Amino acid sequence: MARKLPDRVAVYPGSFDPITNGHLDLIQRGSRLFDRLIVSILRNERKEPLFTVEERMDMLREVVHVYPNVEVDSFDGLLVEHAAAHSATALVRGIRAISDYEYELQMALMNRRLRPDIETVFMMANEAYSFISSRLVKEVFSLGGNISGLVPPSVEARMRSRFKSRSRGA
């Protein structure tokens, strides 16, 4: 009788403020590589995000529900401890440019030192999304630029609503 291999579980961490089509591309591709992919939002109180962690989790759930093996979660503290708590053996990280690689390499080596049993898997960004970052999307949108095609339509609608409420409050 054949032995069942353990599930291949990976964590894809990030701020996802907001989720972009580049993130979605990695989620879709990562969902094919792993039995379970846990998209985890880092709770970082030092940053001033556009959306709360709960709002970002809702947005993620809206767009990843089509992938039955993708879950949405959040964490604070060490990423590798969060991954270990979910029995993950891999961390998924997207690389857009050489500058991303330098930072991600440092993080991967530190994570390996902390938890040698958890591998970091680098995935190259699809060239169509290689210039997109959440920070850039927010900046362009706040200045009146068109972000259609850079974020899911439901995220763009939430951004429109958020920026309208901010401008009314100012």
Which positions are annotated as active-site residues?
A: 23, 47, 96, 134
Q: Is 137 left (phi over 0), alpha (psi -120 to 50) or beta?
A: alpha
Buried b / exposed e along 9-30 (16+ C-beta atoms within 10 A): bbbbbbbbbbbbbbbbbbbeeb
Residue pair 44/69 in contact by the 8 Å Cβ criterion: no
User: Please, what is the Cα angle at 56 between 54 and 60, to 5 degrees?
Assistant: 115
**Termini Cα distance of the chain:** 67
